[in-house]
Amino acid sequence: MAKRERRVGYGWPVLLAIGVHIAALMLTVIKWPESTPDPTSSSVVQATLVRAETATNQPQQTKDATPPATSQPKDQEDASQPAASPPPEPSDQPTAESDVQIPDEVVEEAKAQAQRLQEEARRAAQQRAEAERQRQKEAAQRQAQAEAERKRQAQAEAERKRQAQAEAERKRQAQAEAEQKRQAQAEAEQKRLAALAERAAQANASSLDELISEEQQSIANAEQASEAANGFKNLVRRYVEQSWNLPSNISSDLRAIVQIQLLPTGELVSATILQSSGNSTFDRSAINAIEKASPFREMSKLDASVRDQFREFNLDFNPEDIR
Q: Clarify whether residues 142 and 87 are in a common domain.
A: no
Domain annotation covers residue 28: yes
Q: Clarify whether residues 30 and 53 are in a common domain.
A: yes
Report d(CA 280, CA 259) in Å as an integer: 16
Q: Clarify whether residues 146 and 97 are in a common domain.
A: no
Name the burial class of residue 21, with classes exposed (0-12), middle (13-18) and buried (19+) by CB atoms within 10 angstroms of its CB: buried
Domain boundary among 179, 196, 215: 179
Q: Clarify whether residues 25 and 112 are in a common domain.
A: no
Q: Clarify whether residues 240 and 290 are in a common domain.
A: yes
Per-residue pLDDT, 85: 54
Domain annotation covers residue 198: no
- What domain range is 274 assigned to? 229-317
Whether the per-residue pLDDT at 64 is higher than 70: the answer is no
Domain annotation covers residue 175: yes
**Based on the structure, what is the number of domains in the chain?**
3
Would the pTM of this model clear 0.75, i.e. be above it? Answer: no
Domain boundary among 71, 101, 131: 101
Domain annotation covers residue 70: yes
Under the banding of pLDDT at 50, 70 and 90, the label for residue 28 is low
Report d(CA 85, CA 64) in Å as an integer: 8
Q: Clarify whether residues 8 and 92 are in a common domain.
A: yes
Q: Clarify whether residues 95 and 132 are in a common domain.
A: no
Domain annotation covers residue 165: yes
Domain boundary among 120, 154, 179: 179
17-31, 168-182, 297-311, range with greatest mean pLDDT: 168-182
DSSP 159-187: HHHHHHHHHHHHHHHHHHHHHHHHHHHHH
Closest CA to 233 of 197, 214, 260: 260
Domain annotation covers residue 150: yes
Domain annotation covers residue 170: yes
Mean pLDDT of the chain: 73
Domain annotation covers residue 223: no
Q: Clarify whether residues 19 and 48 are in a common domain.
A: yes
Name the burial class of residue 148, with classes exposed (0-12), middle (13-18) and buried (19+) by CB atoms within 10 angstroms of its CB: exposed
140-154, 191-205, 237-251, range with greatest mean pLDDT: 140-154
Supply the CATH number for residue 233's domain.
Answer: 3.30.1150.10
Per-residue pLDDT, 32: 52
Report d(CA 2, CA 98) in Å as an integer: 9
Stretch 258-274: mean pLDDT, rounded? 88
Q: Clarify whether residues 77 and 151 are in a common domain.
A: no
Q: Clarify whether residues 134 and 90 are in a common domain.
A: no
Q: Clarify whether residues 13 and 84 are in a common domain.
A: yes
Q: Clarify whether residues 92 and 165 are in a common domain.
A: no
